[in-house]
């Protein structure tokens, strides 16, 4: 193992100062960063900034009409949170599909966001719920909408001195959120396809408004498929809608073959899962 120098600042202000002085790789629960210390997946980080002591980045709370999660919130924390269970069960569902207990106890929402894996399990949910990623540095805080946070393959809108500090998820009346992950096995699996879907409809017979469809593992980054969203906007979850939406999403994405799955499978399954979710919403 390569053991890069590591500093553990006691406060967020100390962390900001260190980041302003030098380039660090921030480390939260370590589930991604520690794997890189073998040096087998590319050059390991030169210097680590351990965020684990920063209690400012912990906690889940309601702030007006938004759910606010500290960047160091673990998946276990999300699963245990009564607030999350009541107000955003899809987030809890997604957290339960990440790794297994050992990973869920350590891996953090902020880490998943900053790591920017195209297969990140939580990210399509954040896309589907119009989440905002709040980042901070010595220069202050700024908010980045999830839809513009991931900019390319493992690329984010973070500047070198910035870290993710919290995630703000607006809570919208009458919004439905659905999550589905397809992996090779039932635990400890990196996804082949992740789907996060949301829409606003006061009743099951109302047309869908504010439709959001976030997808993982079908592009070089987590994406929203806006053409399919636009098609679904204002429609009822009928068989025709489902069939057309499935075709459209299949045409809208360009997944690839890799070690985990094939482009054909990813395209077909994305379409089928979307079809299924619309069918379930329409109860037909």
Partner 1 sequence: MTVRFVVNDDPVELTVPGARRLLDVLREELGLTGTKEGCGEGECGACTVLLDGEVVDACLVPISQVDGHTVQTVEGLAARRPSVDRPAAPDDLNQLQWAFLETGGAQCGICTPGMLMAGQAFLASGAPATDAAIREAIAGNLCRCTGYTKIIEAIALAATRRDQAESLGPTSDHAGRP
Partner 2 sequence: MPVGRTAPAPPAPGTVLPDTPTPGPAPGRGPLRREGPAKLTGTALYTDDLVFPGAWHGATIRSTEARARLLAIELDPAFDWSKVVVVTAGDIPGPNIVNSIQDDQPILATDEIRHHAEPIVLVAAPDRALLRQAVGQVIVRTEPLAPVLDPLASDRVFVHYEIETGDLAAGFAEATLVIEGEYRVGHQEQLYIENNAMIAVPRADGGVAVHGSLQCPYYVHNALKRSLLLTDEQAQVVQAETGGGFGGKEEYPSILALHAALLARACGRPVRMIYDRHEDIAATTKRHPAVVRYRSGVAADGRLVAQDIEIVMDAGAYCTLSPVVLSRGTLHAGGPYACPNVRIRSRAVATNTPPNGAFRGFGAPQTEFAAEMQVNRIAEALGESPLDLRRRWLYRPGDTTPTGQVLRESVAAEEVLERAAEAAEFERVRARTAGDRAQRGPDARSAHGIGLALAWHGAGFTGSGEVHLASVASVELTADGRLVILIGSTEMGQGTKTIFPQLVADALGVPMDDVEFAPQDTALVPDSGPTVASRTAMVVGGLVIEACRRLRAVVEERSGGPFADTYRADAGTHGATRIDQHFRPYPGVDFDDTTYRGDAYPAFGWASAVAEVDVDLDTGEVAVRSVVAADDVGRVIHPVLAEGQVEGGTLQAVGYATIEEIKLHDGRYLNDRLATYLIPTALDAPRISTILVEAPFSGAPHGAKGIGELPMDVGAPAVVAAIHDATGVWIHDLPASPERILAAMDTLVRR
Could you tell which of partner 1, partner 2, none binds residue 30, using a CB distance below 5 to 8 A set by kind? partner 1
Complex with partner 2: residue 17 or 272, whichever CB lies closer = 272
Residues facing residue 69 across a β-bridge: 60, 167
Q: What is the distance between the alpha carbons of residues 181 and 218, in angstroms, rounded to a whole number?
A: 12
- In the block, tokens 């396809």 appear at 193
Contact status: 259 vs partner 1 (CB under 8 A): no
Binder of partner 1 out of 11, 22, 102, 206 (CB under 8 A)? 102
The edge-to-edge listing of strands for the beta sheet with 209-216 is: 175-183, 191-200, 209-216, 223-224
Kindly list the distances between the CA atom of residue 46 and the CA atoms of 33, 87, 99, in Å, as whole numbers in the listed order.
12, 40, 27
Complex with partner 2: residue 23 or 187, whichever CB lies closer = 187
Residues in contact with partner 2, counted by CB under 8 A, come to a total of 27
Choices 23-31, 55-63, 165-173, 258-266 (CB under 8 A): range interacting with partner 1: 23-31
CB of 219 to partner 2, least distance (A): 19
Could you tell which of partner 2, partner 1, none binds residue 263, using a CB distance below 5 to 8 A set by kind? none
By DSSP bridging, strand 25-27 and strand 48-50 are parallel
Contact status: 76 vs partner 1 (CB under 8 A): yes
The edge-to-edge listing of strands for the beta sheet with 25-27 is: 6-7, 48-50, 25-27
Binder of partner 2 out of 215, 273, 278, 281 (CB under 8 A)? 273
Count other C-beta atoms under 10 Å from residue 266's C-beta.
26
Nearest Cα to 72, choosing from 36, 108, 113? 108
Helical segments of the chain, H only: 12-21, 33-36, 75-80, 82-87, 89-96, 101-104, 109-115, 123-128, 226-232, 239-252, 263-282
Residues in the chain: 284
Tokens coding 144: 């980045």
Could you tell which of partner 2, partner 1, none binds residue 101, using a CB distance below 5 to 8 A set by kind? partner 1
Could you tell which of partner 1, partner 2, none binds residue 276, using a CB distance below 5 to 8 A set by kind? partner 2
Complex with partner 2: residue 7 or 100, whichever CB lies closer = 100
By DSSP bridging, strand 209-216 and strand 191-200 are antiparallel
Binder of partner 2 out of 49, 189, 225, 249 (CB under 8 A)? 189
Contact status: 184 vs partner 2 (CB under 8 A): yes
Binder of partner 2 out of 186, 203, 240, 283 (CB under 8 A)? 186
Contact status: 52 vs partner 1 (CB under 8 A): yes
Q: What is the distance between the alpha carbons of residues 180 and 277, in angstroms, rounded to a whole number?
A: 9
Could you tell which of partner 2, partner 1, none binds residue 106, using a CB distance below 5 to 8 A set by kind? partner 1
**Subset of 158-217 contacting partner 1 (CB under 8 A):** 186-188
Residues contributing to the site for partner 1 (CB under 8 A): 1, 3-8, 27, 29-31, 34-35, 37-38, 48, 50, 52, 76, 99-103, 105-106, 186-188
Residues contributing to the site for partner 2 (CB under 8 A): 1-2, 38-40, 100, 182, 184-190, 259-262, 264-265, 268-269, 272-273, 275-276, 279
């Amino acid at each position: 193992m390569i053991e890069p120098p590591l500093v553990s600042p006691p406060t967020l202000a100390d962390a900001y100062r260190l980041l302003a002085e030098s380039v660090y790789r921030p480390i939260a629960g370590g589930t991604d960063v520690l794997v890189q210390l073998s040096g087998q997946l590319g050059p390991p980080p030169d210097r680590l900034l351990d965020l684990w002591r920063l209690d400012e980045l912990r906690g889940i709370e309601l702030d007006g009409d938004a759910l606010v999660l500290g960047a160091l919130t673990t998946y276990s924390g999300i699963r245990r949170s009564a607030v999350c269970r009541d107000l955003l069960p899809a987030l809890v569902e997604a957290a339960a599909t990440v790794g297994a207990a050992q990973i869920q106890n350590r891996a953090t929402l902020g880490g998943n966001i900053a790591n920017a894996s195209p297969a990140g399990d939580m990210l399509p949910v954040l896309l589907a719920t119009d989440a905002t990623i709040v980042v901070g540095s010595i220069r202050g805080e700024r908010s980045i909408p999830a839809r513009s946070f991931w900019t390319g393959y493992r690329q984010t809108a973070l500047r070198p001195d910035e870290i993710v500090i919290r995630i703000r998820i607006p809570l919208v009346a009458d919004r439905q959120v659905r999550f589905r992950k397809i992996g090779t096995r039932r635990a400890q699996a990196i996804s082949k396809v992740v789907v996060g879907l949301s829409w606003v409809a006061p009743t099951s017979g109302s047309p869908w408004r504010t439709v959001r469809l976030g997808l993982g593992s079908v592009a070089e980054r987590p994406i929203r498929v806006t053409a399919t969203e636009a098609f679904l906007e204002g429609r009822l979850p009928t068989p025709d809608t489902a069939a057309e939406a499935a075709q459209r999403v299949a045409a809208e994405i360009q997944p690839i073959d890799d070690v985990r799955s094939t482009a054909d499978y990813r395209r077909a399954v994305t379409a089928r899962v979307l079809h299924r979710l619309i069918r379930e919403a329409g109860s037909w």
